[in-house]
Structure 1
Amino acid sequence: MPVLLAVLLLVAALPLAAAEVPRAWEREFPATDFSNAAVPLDEIMSGGPPRDGIPSIDDPRFKPASAITDLSPREPVIGLTVNGETRAYPLRILHWHEIVNDTVGGVPVAVTYCPLCNAAIVFDRRVGDRVLEFGTTGKLRHSDLVMYDRQTETWWQQFTGEGIVGALTGTELDVLPSRLESWAEFQERAPADAPVLVPTDPAARDYGRNPYAGYDTAARPFLYSGETPGGVEPMMRVVALDDEAWTLPLVRERGRVETDGGHLITWRAGQASALDAARVAEGRDVGTVLVSRDGRDVPYDVTFAFVFFAFRPDGVLHTLDGVVRAEDGGGG
Structure 2
Amino acid sequence: MRYIIGFLAIALFGNVAAAEPRFWVHEWPNTDFARSAVQSWVEIRSGGPPKDGIPALLSVDFGPAAQERSLSPREPVITVELEGQAPRAYPVRYLMWHEIANDTIGDVPVAVTFCPLCNSGITFDRRTDAGVLSFGVSGKLRNSDMIMYDHQTESWWQQAIGEGIVGELTGMELQSLPSWMESWEVFVSRNPEGLVMQQPEGHLRNYGENPYVRYDSSVRPFLYNGEVPPHDIPALARVVRVGERAWPLERLSEERDIREEGVVLTWEMGQASALDTRSIGEGREVGNVRVKDGAGNDLAHDILFAFAFHAFWPDGKWMIGGGKRD
Q: Under a length normalisation based on structure 1, what TM-score does the superposition of the two structures give?
A: 0.89
How many Å apart are 1:70 and its aligned residue?
A: 0.9
Q: Does 1:74 align with 2:77?
A: no
* Partner amino acid, structure 2, of 1:60: V
Q: Is the 8 A contact 1:92 1:207 kept in 2?
A: yes
Q: Deviations over 1:297-332 (max 9, x none)?
A: 01011111101110000012122566364xxxxxxx
What is the CA–CA distance in structure 2 between the aligned matches of 1:265 and 1:315, rounded to whole Å?
18
What is the CA–CA distance in structure 2 between the aligned matches of 1:65 and 1:51, rounded to whole Å?
33
- 1:166/1:198 Cα in 2 relative to 1: closer, same or farther (>3 Å)? same
Residue 199 of structure 1 corresponds to: 199
Q: What is the root-mean-square deviation of aligned Cα atoms in Å?
A: 1.6
Residue 28 of structure 1 corresponds to: 27
How many Å apart are 1:263 and its aligned residue?
A: 1.0
What is the CA–CA distance in structure 2 between the aligned matches of 1:29 and 1:324, rounded to whole Å?
43
Residue 104 of structure 2 corresponds to: 103
Q: Under a length normalisation based on structure 2, what TM-score does the superposition of the two structures give?
A: 0.90
Residue 219 of structure 1 corresponds to: 219
How many Å apart are 1:25 and its aligned residue?
A: 1.3
Q: Is the 8 A contact 1:316 1:323 kept in 2?
A: no
Q: Is the 8 A contact 1:21 1:34 kept in 2?
A: no
Q: Deviations over 1:233-285 (max 9, x none)?
A: 1111111111111111111111110012x110000000000000010010011
Q: Is the 8 A contact 1:249 1:320 kept in 2?
A: no
- 1:162/1:25 Cα in 2 relative to 1: closer, same or farther (>3 Å)? same
What is the CA–CA distance in structure 1 between the aligned matches of 2:202 and 2:139, rounded to whole Å?
23
Helix, strand or coil for the counterpart of 1:123? strand
How many Å apart are 1:27 and its aligned residue?
A: 1.2
Matched pairs, number: 305
1:1-332 paired onto structure 2 within 5 Å: 21-39=20-38, 40-85=40-85, 86-128=87-129, 130-192=131-193, 194-201=194-201, 204-228=204-228, 229-260=230-261, 262-293=262-293, 294-319=295-320, 323=324, 325=326
Helix, strand or coil for the counterpart of 1:297? coil
Unaligned runs of 5+ in 2: 1-17
Helix, strand or coil for the counterpart of 1:302? strand
* Partner amino acid, structure 1, of 2:63: K
Max Rg structure:
1
Residue 9 of structure 1 corresponds to: none
* Partner amino acid, structure 2, of 1:25: W
How many Å apart are 1:219 and its aligned residue?
A: 0.7
Helix, strand or coil for the counterpart of 1:31? coil
The more displaced of 194-203 and 115-124 is: 194-203
Helix, strand or coil for the counterpart of 2:66? helix
* Partner amino acid, structure 1, of 2:44: I
Unaligned runs of 5+ in 1: 1-18, 326-332
What is the CA–CA distance in structure 2 between the aligned matches of 1:304 and 1:290, rounded to whole Å?
17
Runs of 4+ aligned structure 1 residues displaced above 3 Å come to 19-24, 320-325
